[in-house]
Amino acid sequence: MAKQEEADKVVDNMLDNMLDEGKFNTFVPFGTASQDNPSFNASKYWRGPVWLDQALYGVEALQNYGYYDDAVRMSKKMFDNAEGLMGDGPIREN
């Protein structure tokens, strides 16, 4: 596990990038590439789609280092917007 000082640097980077709606805070947050990346393409594997197992790491990182409000906000956004999570339909892989 990272030391608190190291974790704070990672979380500062996350807060600057992962929570930015022009980068990783998309309709379903924590995509695999930033929206401002020239290679971003929401329909291409590892170029922008959200993989829920990977997004969980982002939420857990926020939570593990005390950024509870941000973790809750991003989790809520995922559950509100990801297809199939709250209904009877299939959960899309990405």
Is residue 86 situated within a structural domain? no
In a domain, 49, yes or no: yes
**Structural domain count of the chain:** 1
Residue 13's domain comprises 4-81
Residue 78: alpha-carbon gap to chain centroid: 8
Please write the tens of the pLDDT for every residue from 27-67: 888 888 899 999 999 888 878 888 888 889 989 988 988 88
Q: For residue 89, is it within any domain?
A: no
Q: Which CA distances in Å does 93 have to 26, 35, 51?
A: 17, 20, 7
Residue 92 belongs to some domain of the structure: no
**Inter-residue long-range contacts of 67-73, CB under 8 Å, 24+ positions, other chains counted:** 67/11, 67/15, 70/15, 70/19
**Structural domain includes residue 88:** no
Please name the residue ranges forming H helices in 1-94.
4-17, 52-64, 68-81
Evaluate whether residue 63 is within a structural domain: yes
Is residue 17 a part of any domain in this protein? yes
43 domain-assigned: yes
pLDDT of residue 71: 93
